[in-house]
Each structure stands twice: as structure tokens, then as C-alpha cells.
């Protein structure tokens, strides 16, 4: 077992990547982010929180992953899906893995061959830019191309094991959401509830809580990304908590709204529109639709019920990171395929500058959507203050 998965899980992942690499004319992949490296090797650690060190995984065509990493990670990497671990003592002020990585890339990619790495939407290269310049200098005539889709077309189709993990993380969040009324009654302040809710996630069995958004206000909220402040929760507020807990390396990402004392007619109406538009999308989703179709279905569902859709995306992929591609926007043409794990996240204005956001997590099956988050109740839960 590797990171709790059978070894065959990683064989399948690498083999799928090899297939796409072949199709895309790539001799080796270079991966640098926590998610990509966990995906191919099972290397799971919170040590990424330190920006001090870069980590590299090379996946050569037809071969297993070759890792080029700081020495401190060698014992953990040795438990992963690789038997090829090169290390250096990082951080090194003048050669922080550059010569080791360059040599490994030259060995993996023929002199007139092609190196692929993710450089497109939603990606970044997690290493110093100047060092990347030095690496590319050392590669001579080798071509360097964008492998964003090479990786995405594989990672976006979740295995049964991955789906089970995301569903398990969703269940932990549901358990913690059930404690919110008690938390509000104990200390009706946004920051206190945000702290207590994170603790509840841990007590429910989350390994860690990488993300929590919280907001509250009369008729909804305007800003959904600010940290929780000491704002008192008042009668008439809608309280929203949006969870990115992690268990065994996989995220959930769904929210719940709570009315502090019975909600206004406008909040009730808007919430009903969000709930019903989500139901419509759940019924309509099927492989072959495009991401932009889901945006349209949700937006039209809201408009048909007299609600005004919020700006921005109305859902996205989910898995090893809190958010993955595609994005449910009018512009995203990504084709939906069976095995994708997605969030439906419609939002609607209650009045200018005030929103409600409703979110569920699903897996797309050959015959349609299957919920991974336990479906919210049709009516917003009321917490009497």
C-alpha cells in the first residue's frame, strides 16, 4: 500500500500519463506542485507550507517516477511509488537542486526530444524562476512544451478509491456542520464559530483544515474570502461556512447557510431558487456536456425563478486540491467525463452587493450526477438566537 492506496493505483495513474504523453509527443514530464507530486508518487506532507525548498518529479516515457528532492524528504518519499530518489541538501544558496535536476532531465529526454510541464491555466512552476532559466539553458535543443492538458486529462478522472476518499471527507464536514447551531448559541461571533467549526472538523476526523471561508450578514454576504472577524451574529443574519477539510490527502468543498432567527422572505426565496436550480443541474448533468453548459443550466435555473445569478464561476473540479479545473463559466469548453468530481456552486444576489452561495459536491457517472456531499435540506436551517 502507498499512501493508503494499493500500488496498482499508482501504476494505473502513471500508465495513463504515459499514454497521454505518447499522444502529446512528450518524452518526460516535470512536476513541481504538491498535488501533481502526490498524484504520481503518494508523497503526502504538510511540509509544502515551507516555501524554502523546491521538489521535482520526472516521469519519463514508459518508466516510473524519478524524484529529485531535498534530503529531508527522502525517508517519506521512499515509502512512495518510486525507487529512484536523488537528493541534495536544501536550501543550498548557489545550487538548490539545479545541477541535479538538469542532469536528470537530460537523461530522461533525448537531445532532440521534448520535455512537458504544466504551464497553463491554474498551474504554476513551484521553483525559483531564475533556477528554471538555468535548467532550460542546460537542456540544449530539447523542446519544452505545455503539458497542462496531458496531466489534467488523467488527474480529472478519479478512481473509485479517490471518489471514496472525497466522499469520506464530505461526510466529516456534514458531521461538523451539524454542530454549528450549538457553536452559534455558545458564542454568537463569526470568528468564534469559525474556530469552533474547524475544531469540530478535526474532532470529526479531518486530518487538517486547509480552507474555511465564513461570512454573515443581513440578506446574505458580500465578501466570501475575508478571514472571520469578531463580528457578532445578529438576528436576521445569514451565516455561511464553506469547508475545505482534508482527509487522507483529499478535499471536500461545500458550504451550508444558516439563518440566525427566521430568514426574510427575500432570503427564503433566493435560497429556494438556489436549491431548485441545483436540483435541476443534478438531474441534467451527464458526460458530454461542457463546463459552460453547466454554467448555463444553473444560471437559467436561477433566472427562471426570479433570482439573479452571481458573477464568477458557479462550480469547479475538486480532489487533491480545494479547487481543480474545469470552471463552470460561460467560457470554459472543457468536456465533462464520467469520473470527474465537481462542485455545483450557484450563487445569487439578494440585493446589490449581497449574495447567497449554495454548494454541493458530486461525482459524474456514466448515467449522471451522484452526490458526494449529503444533500442540504430544502429549507435553510434556522438557528434561534
Residues of this chain, 237-256, that bind its own copies according to CB under 8 A: 244
Footprint of its own copies on 112-171 (CB under 8 A) = 117, 119-130, 132-133, 146, 148
* Region binding its own copies by CB under 8 A among candidate stretches 20-28, 193-201, 255-263, 299-307: 193-201
Q: Is 217 in the site for its own copies (CB under 8 A)?
A: no
User: Does position 282 bind its own copies by CB under 8 A?
Assistant: no
Place of cell 435553510: 380
Among 329, 338, 339, 365, binds its own copies (CB under 8 A): 329
Q: What is the β-pairing status of strands 114-117 and 143-146? A: parallel
DSSP state of 120: S
Nearest to 135 by CA among 41, 56, 24: 56
| C-beta of 67 vs 323, nearer to its own copies | 323
Binding to its own copies (CB under 8 A) within 43-62 occurs at: 44-47, 49-54
Pick the closer one to its own copies by CB: 280 or 324: 324
CB of 262 to its own copies, least distance (A): 27
Phi and psi dihedrals of 274, rounded to 5?
-65, -45
115 strand-pairing partners: 28, 144
Select 93 or 288, whichever has its Cβ closest to its own copies. Answer: 93
- Residue 133, number of CB atoms within 10 A of its CB: 11
Q: Is 269 in the site for its own copies (CB under 8 A)?
A: no
The residue within the footprint of its own copies, chosen from 8, 15, 137, 208 (CB under 8 A), is 208
DSSP string of 69-102? EEGGGHHHHTTSS-S-EEEE-SS-SS-SSHHHHH
Between 167 and 295, name the residue whose CB sits nearer to its own copies: 295
Integer Cα distance of 239 and 316 in angstroms: 23
Return the residue matching grid coordinates 466529516: 172
Only one of the segments 222-230, 255-263, 272-280, 376-384 lies at the binding site for its own copies (rule: CB under 8 A); that segment is 222-230
Amino acid at each position: 500500500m502507498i499512501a493508503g492506496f494499493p500500488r496498482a493505483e499508482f501504476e494505473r495513474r502513471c500508465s495513463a500519463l504515459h499514454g497521454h504523453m505518447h499522444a502529446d509527443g512528450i518524452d518526460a514530464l516535470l512536476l513541481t506542485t504538491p498535488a501533481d507530486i502526490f498524484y504520481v508518487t503518494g508523497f503526502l506532507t504538510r511540509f509544502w507550507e515551507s516555501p524554502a525548498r523546491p521538489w521535482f518529479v520526472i516521469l519519463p516515457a514508459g518508466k516510473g517516477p524519478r524524484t529529485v528532492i531535498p534530503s529531508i524528504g527522502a525517508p517519506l518519499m521512499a515509502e512512495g511509488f518510486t525507487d529512484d530518489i536523488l537528493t541534495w541538501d536544501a536550501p543550498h544558496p548557489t545550487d538548490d537542486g539545479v545541477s541535479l535536476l538538469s542532469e536528470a532531465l537530460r537523461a530522461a529526454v533525448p537531445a532532440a526530444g521534448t520535455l512537458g510541464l504544466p504551464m497553463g491555466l491554474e498551474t504554476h512552476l513551484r521553483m525559483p524562476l531564475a533556477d528554471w532559466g538555468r535548467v532550460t539553458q542546460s537542456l540544449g535543443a530539447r523542446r519544452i512544451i505545455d503539458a497542462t492538458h496531458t496531466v489534467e486529462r488523467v488527474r480529472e478522472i478519479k478512481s473509485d478509491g479517490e471518489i471514496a476518499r472525497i466522499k469520506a471527507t464530505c461526510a466529516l464536514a456534514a458531521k461538523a456542520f451539524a454542530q454549528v447551531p450549538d457553536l452559534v448559541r455558545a458564542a454568537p461571533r463569526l470568528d468564534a464559530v469559525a474556530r469552533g467549526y474547524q475544531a469540530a472538523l478535526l474532532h470529526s476526523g479531518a486530518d487538517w483544515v486547509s480552507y474555511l471561508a465564513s461570512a454573515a450578514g443581513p440578506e446574505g454576504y458580500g465578501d466570501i474570502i475575508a478571514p472571520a472577524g469578531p463580528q457578532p451574529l445578529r438576528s436576521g443574519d445569514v451565516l455561511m461556512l464553506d469547508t475545505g477539510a482534508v482527509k487522507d490527502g483529499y478535499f471536500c468543498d461545500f458550504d451550508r447557510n444558516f439563518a440566525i432567527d427566521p430568514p426574510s422572505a427575500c432570503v427564503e426565496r433566493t435560497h429556494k431558487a438556489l436549491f431548485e436550480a441545483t436540483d435541476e443541474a443534478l438531474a441534467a448533468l451527464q458526460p458530454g456536456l461542457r463546463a459552460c453548459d453547466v454554467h448555463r443550466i444553473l444560471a437559467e435555473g436561477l433566472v427562471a425563478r426570479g433570482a439573479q445569478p452571481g458573477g464568477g464561476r458557479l462550480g469547479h473540479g475538486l480532489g487533491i486540491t480545494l479547487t481543480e479545473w474545469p470552471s463552470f463559466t460561460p467560457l470554459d469548453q472543457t468536456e465533462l467525463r464520467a469520473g470527474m468530481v465537481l462542485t455545483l456552486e450557484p450563487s445569487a444576489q439578494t440585493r446589490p452587493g449581497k449574495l447567497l452561495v449554495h454548494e454541493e459536491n458530486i461525482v459524474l457517472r456514466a448515467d449522471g450526477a451522484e452526490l458526494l456531499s449529503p444533500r442540504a435540506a430544502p429549507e435553510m436551517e434556522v438557528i434561534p438566537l
